[in-house]
Amino acid sequence: FQFCANDPEKFADACELAEPHCDGVDLNLGCPQVIAARGHYGAFLMEEWELVENIIRTACARIKKPITCKIRVYESIEKTVEYAKRLERAGAKIITVHGRRREQRGPLTGIASWDHIKAVKEAVSVPVFANGNIQYLRDVEKCIEYTKVDAVMSAEGALYNPAIFTGRQPPAWEMVDKYLAYCNQYPTNLSYVRGHLFRMWQKCLDNFPELRHPLGKVKKFEDMCKISDTIKEKAKAIADKEIEEGKDSEEIGHLPFWRCQPYVRPPPKTTSGEKRPLEEGGKEAEAKAKLKPPSKRKAIREKHHQHGKGAFPKVPKDKWPLCVTCKNNPWGKKCEYNLCKTCCKDMTAIKVLNIVQVTNSNSYSTN
């Protein structure tokens, strides 16, 4: 199991609940997402070493199964090594090092530093797992050779090709069919299923864009399977033809679109937050904006801006007379007693009660 946490006792409680059902518990200290920043966990505990140590020590004292950690690196190799040493002293039995800094995510993901991972491996005595830059099986072999780590972990690479550790680049439908069979056996949240399908069908959807929207909007698992079958039929027809013509290949760099392959993230167009210049398309947008007539509110604002503040006299507002009872709210236009709605309702209710009482008393006297 892997948990995110920022409270030692709560993490230890969760570890006790999980212990009978797992071989160990991992503390996630590497999540860089916005949700981790809001919740104050993951990589956003990197400045609170004492808290992290306390979380690990408390859990180690409560359960017998090993506690492991997954971390990100600092810009400084020395600081990263010292951080890993403190985790080891706190009781972490395995340290997984993702070779990217906390800021390296989304379009700024960049390249993971195997030098940081190598330095951590040389500095601690517990097993070290590497994470980052793993797209093919050959990357696993290169990483182990360079860093001398005990194991390698893949995240995004395995999402796009679940067979990554076999060294194969299987047809996408082969992985999709197996995955959907598991989902049918173990019912899964539809949004999770959709996310995995979009990754495994990545290149196929680039070739069949008309099926992207239906796959994103479908509401039932059965319908999702039907759309996947349609993608499979279209891709398989092309694959059969390419295999017959000898155009198929599992060689990296020459993979046909219908085989599982990693997602190559495009570099960001701008990384410093600067606005796109008008020459890159802004003029067209500006021309379209001029064709659209401004709203009345915008026209008034522009007039005030042109003529200066106070150029247009304020229109006096009508002052409504106040309720004769509460003296706070304006009276209602249709109220004969010059009361506001609240006071009018109260007075009406009292009158109705009085009428009922009089009627009841008359009925008693008649009897």
Q: What is the distance in angstroms between the CA of the first residue and the CA of the last residue of the chain?
A: 81
Would you call 31 a catalytic residue per the annotation? yes
pLDDT confidence of residue 303 = 63
Residue 286 has pLDDT above 60, yes or no: no
| 3-state DSSP assignment of residue 136 | coil
The band of 367, judged by pLDDT with boundaries at 50, 70 and 90, is very low
Residue pair 108/143 in contact by the 8 Å Cβ criterion: no
Residues 6 or more apart whose CB falls under 8 angstroms from that of 126 comprise 88, 92, 93, 94, 95
Residues 6 or more apart whose CB falls under 8 angstroms from that of 202 comprise 160, 172, 261, 263
pLDDT confidence of residue 287 = 47
pLDDT confidence of residue 185 = 95
46-60, 313-327, 334-348: least confident range: 313-327
Phi, psi of 253 (to 5 degrees): 100, -15
pLDDT confidence of residue 60 = 97
Q: Residues of the chain with pLDDT > 90: what percent?
A: 61
Distances (CA, A) of 135 to 82, 154, 230, 238: 29, 8, 28, 25
Highest mean pLDDT among 34-38, 56-60, 317-321, 342-346: 56-60
Q: Which fold has domain 2-154?
A: TIM Barrel (3.20.20)
Active-site choice (4, 31, 60, 323): 31
pLDDT confidence of residue 201 = 96
13-17, 43-47, 112-116, 340-344: least confident range: 340-344
pLDDT digits (tens, 9 = 90+) for 1-46: 999 999 999 999 999 999 999 999 999 999 999 899 999 999 999 9
172 vs 252: which has the higher pLDDT: 172
Residue 269 has pLDDT above 80, yes or no: no
The alpha helices in 245-295, defined as continuous H runs, are 282-291
Q: Residues of the chain with pLDDT > 70: what percent?
A: 80
pLDDT digits (tens, 9 = 90+) for 57-85: 999 999 999 999 999 999 999 999 999 99
Residue 191 has pLDDT above 80, yes or no: yes
Residue 355 has pLDDT above 70, yes or no: no
Helix/strand/coil percent split, the chain, to 5: 55, 10, 40
80-84, 106-110, 255-259, 330-334: least confident range: 106-110
User: Domain extents for the chain?
Assistant: 2-154, 172-245, 322-351
Q: Report the predicted TM-score, pTM, of the whole model to 2 decimal places.
A: 0.68
Residue 253 has pLDDT above 90, yes or no: no
pLDDT confidence of residue 278 = 39
Count CA within 13 A, CB hemisphere, residue 281. 2
Residue pair 29/42 in contact by the 8 Å Cβ criterion: yes
Over the Cα atoms of the chain, what is R_g? 34
